[in-house]
Amino acid sequence: MPETPKPGEAWQARAETRLIGSRQNAVDGAAARAGALGYEVVVLSEAVVGEARQAGVRLVRLVQSEAASRDRSGRLRHRPLCVLAAGETTVTVKGTGRGGRNQELALAAATELEKSGRPCALLSAGTDGIDGPTDAAGAMADTSTLARAAARGLADPEAYLDNNDAYAFFEALSDLVVVGPTDTNVGDIQILLTA
């Protein structure tokens, strides 16, 4: 096309648009797979939005609260828990590092995961395979992330967050999720697993 289409052009009468995937499709697929693997699945109904750092902390706290509630009821002891969420967060860039919203969410969550005292893992990734100006779709963090970082001599994770450099942090730990462009985009997905 030589220029931007204008409303009412004749060719538009023959154009057809179909929605073939959605965030809900991605979450439903992940839920089905987690259930088949033996997890008790909880899907968060609200989209994950807002500042990535705050969203990461909120997600971990919510999962820990849900797990504690299930502990009290005795349900969690029979099956591990998988909590699924989706949406897209934002990052206020103040530093000069590399990363994206999913990597920053995972790094902020790592601090909360370490404090929780319960085995837990989180993955946050873009369904398009791209997170910020990097080759990663996102990152993984668990209750051992900060201890592994300290053992490798990495600086305080807050310093990486302040410099918006979650990519370097997770690259040093081999915890980046790199899948390449998927040629689709239905948002980001977060998967949290706990015993």
The CA distances from residue 168 to 52, 60, 115, 188, in Å, are 17, 22, 23, 21
Confidence of residue 42 (pLDDT cuts 50, 70, 90): very high
CA end-to-end distance (rounded Å), the chain: 54
What are the tens digits of pLDDT across the range 95-105?
Answer: 999 999 999 99
Give me the residue spans of the domains in the chain.
Answer: 18-194
Place of tokens 């390449």: 180
Distance of CA 50 to the CA centre of its chain: 13
Q: What is the CATH number of domain 18-194?
A: 3.40.1480.10
**The pair of three-digit structure tokens given for residue 126, joined into one six-digit string:** 């873009």
For CA atoms 137, 31, 50, 149, give the dihedral sign.
Answer: negative
What are the tens digits of pLDDT across the range 44-92?
Answer: 988 899 999 999 999 999 988 888 887 777 655 678 999 999 999 999 9
Rounded to an integer, what distance in angstroms lies between the CA atom of residue 123 and that of residue 106?
7
Give the mean model confidence (pLDDT) for residues 138-161: 96
Considering the entire predicted model, what is its pTM?
0.88
